Each structure stands twice: as C-alpha cells, then as structure tokens.
Structure 1
Amino acid sequence: MDTTFSLFIGALLDALIGPNLFVPGEPFLIAAGYQLHQGLVSGVIMVLLGGLIGDQASYFIGCKLGLPAQKKLVKWQSKTRRPIARCRYLMVKKGNAILMFARLLGPVAWVVPFMAGTHRITWRRFTLYSSIGLLLGVGQFVFWGYMLAYGLESLPWAQQVKLFVVEHRLSFYAIAVTIAFFAVAKVCNWRYRRSVTLGLFVGTILFANYAHFFFYADDFLNDEQLQAQHSTLDMVEPSTLTLKAYPGKSAVFDAQAINILYYGQNPRDLMLDIGWIENKTFSRDDLEFKDYIQLLNEKTPPVSDLFWNHIPQEMAFQLPGDLLKRSHIRWWKGGIDPKTQELYWLGAISYDNGLQITPYSGIVTVLHSIDPNVDAERDKFALQVVTSSVKQEMGYKQLVDRVVLDEEHDYFTDGQVLLIKGNNG
C-alpha cells in the first residue's frame, strides 16, 4: 500500500465513529509532519482529507442512527436519560466551541461528530466549526512530526519542553485521569463526585510517587550514560564546571550547592574512616518497598537523587542521626584535572532538617527540608577530615560566586569550595 494512501486510511479510521475507538491517529499525523519536512505536502493533504471524510461520515451516521440508539439505551438504562439530555443541551448552547476544540480534548473527539449528527446540528454549522477543529487538531501533530524530523537537538527550548514532559509524565497521567473521571462523574451527575475525585487524585499522586521511586528511578541511567561515566573522563578544569546539583533533570528546579572537591580514586575510604554510613540510592540500587521499610527502621533511609549534568550521584553517605535530621553528602565523578592529571570528585553536603512537601523530579512528594546554611556543614566536614587516620591535604578555594537565597537556589554560601587531596590520588 502506498505510504501516502496509508496516511489517508489512518486519519479516516481515527475520525470514523467505531473504528476510532481502536485506531490511534497520532502516528499517521506525525508521519505526515515527517513527510512535510522532506518537502512532500501530499501527506498533510491526505490526513486532512481522511479526517474530514471521517468526521462527515460520523456526522451522518449520527443523523441516521443516533436517536434510535439513544432510545434503546434509555429504555435499557433509564438513568442515562439525564446525561443524554445534558449532552444535548451542551451541544445546542456551546456546540461551536465543542466542535472547534474537541480534537484538542483527547477522547472527546471520538464521539463529537456522531453526537452532532444525533442532536441535529445543522450540516453547515457542523462542517464550518469541525473543519476549524480539524485544522487545529491535525496541525498540532503535523507540527510535532515536522519538528522531530527537523531535530529537537537543534532547538534548545524544544529539548527543554520534551525533557519537562517526559520527566513529569506520571504527574500528567495522574491529573489527566482525575480530570477525565470528574468530567464523566459530572455528566452522569454522580453524588459525592467531588470527594471521590479528590480521593482519586490523592490515590493517583501516591501511585505516581511509588512508581517513580520503585519502578522508574533507575531509568535515568541508560547504558550509554553508564559506559560514559566509567570510561575515560574528560580533561576539565574544576573552575569551569557548574557546581550546582538539581532535584530533577528539567530546568525548573532550585539548585543545591556542590561545595567539596576530592582528589583521588575514590572518597569512600575517607567517608567510612571518619564515621559516615553509605546510603542506598533509588537510581543506583534496585530497591523494593520492603527494602525501603527496612532502611527506615535502621534510620538510614535511601537518599533521594540529585542530578549534576543530568547524572545522579554515584555514591551517598550520611552521619548517624534520626529519620528527620541528618547530615548527608552525595558524590559525582567530576573529571581529570588537566594541571595535576588527577581524578577528582564533586561532593554536595547538606543537612536534613525535618520534612516538607516539595516538587521533585516530576512528582510532588514528601522529602527532607534542606538547611540553607550549607557552609556550616562543609566546615563541620572539614573538621572531621582532620581526624582521619588517613592523611589528607585540605584547603579552601573560591570557585563560585557568593550565593544568597533566591528563586533559583535553596541555599546561601560564601562561594568557597573545600578541596581535599587523598593519599590514593
């Protein structure tokens, strides 16, 4: 079958009442956008023509069969009389808006042409407004198909939009399910719909939290990232790096401070020698819920992931403490210092001071509240390093600007970074 004709068939079945419940039209519309990028307009014409014919066919099917089908439904289920009457009222009073924007409202688009015919919307009125809606609905997916073919990597803003959508997909699913349920409940005039909807929303948010930490947390590390992280690191001067970490990958989160540099093969021996406990992390360890509960009982809960250069920490440690208050630090491999030819690690140290509800990596969840005085934790750590049985060289260096609390940060600092050189460097 010719590719262009396939686009026509796909768009037709996506718009035709009955088949459109099973045939998704988005792949065909996006494919038309790909063809448009290659200079072929025929694909766009075919999906528009298929959508138009499908809408028209659904309208006339509604004119012919809609009322008899409704009567049978009301006779079988008398409770459907009121929702049907409400739908008829909306089509009469707000039909123009519904016809124009139905294709932007997901599953609503499946039945609107059929309902328009059923409720005797005039053909001219239906054709005019549904055609506008067809241009809007098809146009959005053709646009994204064109942009995908063009290459999102060449458009920084598009990359950020894509990253934001992918990272927040669980929250979007929760909101979409809740809105869809409330819309159905309102049309059907269900009692207690507000309280049930609120309960559903809380339930979906809780499930999004569970899925994020226990199903998808390790998805941030694909094979390429793991290979790159453990292969030869870049020669890069530490002062040229962005010494900030974020509780997510998209550019909507407040920064946290990276305020320690460790020169050496691995800071683990130093951390254990001065009394720190290595934590599990959601991205690096395959944690089940029972593991999480056990770690809570041991007062060493897993450390939530921070991202530096879109990579979660490689190691995390905490000092002994309770579940609400503890000092912790995360470590990333930074690179090879071109001056000394040594491997160095980046550390972000801070203090957990209670709990708070906060946006985190695409979800809203309960996490520890970070004390903004990160310099105090850095300086306490320096005093601990002095007591290490392993000799370390130590000092401070001004590598970042002075930072105060603002809309881009959750901390304040004098801008100095603690430099530690281990004897295994």
Structure 2
Amino acid sequence: MGVAAALQFRVYDRSGKEVFAVDMNSLIAQYGYLALLIGSLAEGETITLLGGVAAHQGLLKFPLVVLAVALGGIIGDQLLYFLGRRFGYRLLRRFGRHRSKIRRASKLIQRRPWLFVIGSRFMYGFRLLGPVLIGASRLPPAVFLPLNILGALLWALIFTSLGYLGGEVIGPLLHHLDHHLKHLIWLALAVVVVLALRWWLKRRHRED
C-alpha cells in the first residue's frame, strides 16, 4: 500500500513547520462512493477510472465502486430519458449541429433498441444525448429500464477495471515519485484512456 500511504496534503509555513494536513486516504474512503455516484450522473468516465485506481490502492472496494458508478449512471440516464419523453424533439432541436447523428441514431433505435440503449454509453457524442433521443423515440419505460441497468453495470465494470488495471501496472513505478506528480500522471493516464476509447467508438460508429 505504498502508493496509498502517500496520499497526504500538507501545508507548511515559511520556516518549514507543518500548519495544516489532510489525510486524503480518509477523505476518499469516507466520501469516495458518494463522489463517484454524483460524478457518474453525467459523463463520468474520468472519475470512474480514478475510482478504479482508488480500489487498486485499497482506499475503496472494487465491487462498491462499480455499484456506485452504475447507480449514478442509471439515475442520470433515467432522468434524461424522461426528459426526452416529456419534451421530445423540441428538446433535441437544441442539438442542431448533431442533426445527422440524431437521424442515424433514430433509425438504429427503431431497428435494434437494445443495442443503442446499451451502446450509447460508449458512443462518442451520445453519452448525454442518447437517453434523450431514446425517450423522444417513445421506447417504453419497461423496455428501457432493464437495458439501462445492464448498460450501466457493463459500463461501470469496464471503466473501473481500466482504472484498476492502470494502478496494477503503473502503481509500482510511481511509488517513489512526489505525490503531486503522481496525481497528475494518474489524471493524464485516465484522460488518454478515455480519449482513445472514444476515438475508437467514433470510428466504429462511422463504419456502421
């Protein structure tokens, strides 16, 4: 747990005397799941990756990270879905620059609703727009809810695992680095993974 033990924030005066200290381990352990839930209500890939890193460091439990992130994703997408059902295509007109994407997505919802509901979480540009479009398409709530739950669990498991594996592979290399530098490296790695995955999904979406 050498990496976890280094998660401290300290403030010193000019003489070098410590005047303030925060144990980041305790903060993450106490509020981590709530932060994950709130952060995953919208686009939560980065915070989910960091949750996986925290699970690898022993600050959070892996299954609870997955559940917290999945729950946040379920709640967020349900709210967006009902917004789509309530306001329909009037709301979608605000996304005018995505008109061609919306047309293609609408056709996919009609043909394979299960594929779009689950896959929209992983599609570039549809993380927030997707549930609104699904609601506007009048897909029944009884169909959307179980697919939303399944998609959220799959999404949470994949991104939490990526964060966890990142900690497994790179954590030992960071053990002796300054903890501020470590935080920046973790953040940079998380961003790179998210961007790479979104690029790949966008390319697949264009091919389809």
- Shorter-chain TM-score bucket reads 0.5 to 0.7
| 3-state secondary structure, aligned to 1:12 | coil
Match of 1:101 in 2: 119
**1:226-305 matched pairs, under 5 angstroms:** none
TM-score normalised per structure 2 = 0.59
CA deviation digits over 1:175-226, x for unaligned, max 9? 949x55x83xx99xxxxxxxxxxxxxxxxxxxxxxxxxxxxxxxxxxxxxxx
Which amino acid is the alignment partner of residue 128 of structure 1? Answer: P
Query: Any stretches of 5+ residues in structure 2 without a counterpart?
Result: 1-26, 173-188
Which amino acid is the alignment partner of residue 54 of structure 1? Answer: G
1:29 aligns with 2:29: no
**1:348-387 matched pairs, under 5 angstroms:** none
Name the count of aligned residue pairs. Answer: 154
Which amino acid is the alignment partner of residue 35 of structure 2? Answer: S
Match of 1:350 in 2: none
Distance (whole Å) between structure 2 residues aligned to residue 29 and residue 104 of structure 1: 14
Q: Is the 8 A contact 2:84 2:131 kept in 1?
A: yes
1:65 aligns with 2:79: no
Which amino acid is the alignment partner of residue 91 of structure 2? Answer: A
1:52 aligns with 2:74: yes
TM-score normalised per structure 1 = 0.31
Match of 1:192 in 2: none
Which amino acid is the alignment partner of residue 137 of structure 1? Answer: W
Q: Is the 8 A contact 2:65 2:160 kept in 1?
A: no
Q: CA RMSD in A?
A: 3.8
Distance 1:84 1:139, change over 3 A: closer
Moved over 3 A (4+): 82-87, 151-154
Query: Any stretches of 5+ residues in structure 1 without a counterpart?
Result: 15-24, 155-165, 188-425
Which of 22, 35, 38 in structure 2 is aligned with 1:9?
38
Q: Is the 8 A contact 1:66 1:117 kept in 2?
A: yes
C-alpha displacement at 1:84, in angstroms?
A: 4.9
C-alpha displacement at 1:83, in angstroms?
A: 6.5
CA deviation digits over 1:156-180, x for unaligned, max 9? xxxxxxxxxx9xx8xx97x949x55
Distance 1:138 1:61, change over 3 A: same
Q: Is the 8 A contact 1:36 1:44 kept in 2?
A: no
1:129 aligns with 2:129: no
C-alpha displacement at 1:111, in angstroms?
A: 1.5
Q: Is the 8 A contact 1:103 1:136 kept in 2?
A: no
Q: Name the structure, 1 or 2, with higher relative contact order (CA <8 Å, separation 6+).
A: 2
| 3-state secondary structure, aligned to 1:109 | coil
Q: Is the 8 A contact 1:8 1:49 kept in 2?
A: yes
Between structures 1 and 2, the one with greater helix share: 2
C-alpha displacement at 1:45, in angstroms?
A: 2.4
**1:24-423 matched pairs, under 5 angstroms:** 25-37=44-56, 38=58, 40=61, 41-70=63-92, 84-152=102-170, 176=199, 183=206
| 3-state secondary structure, aligned to 2:138 | coil
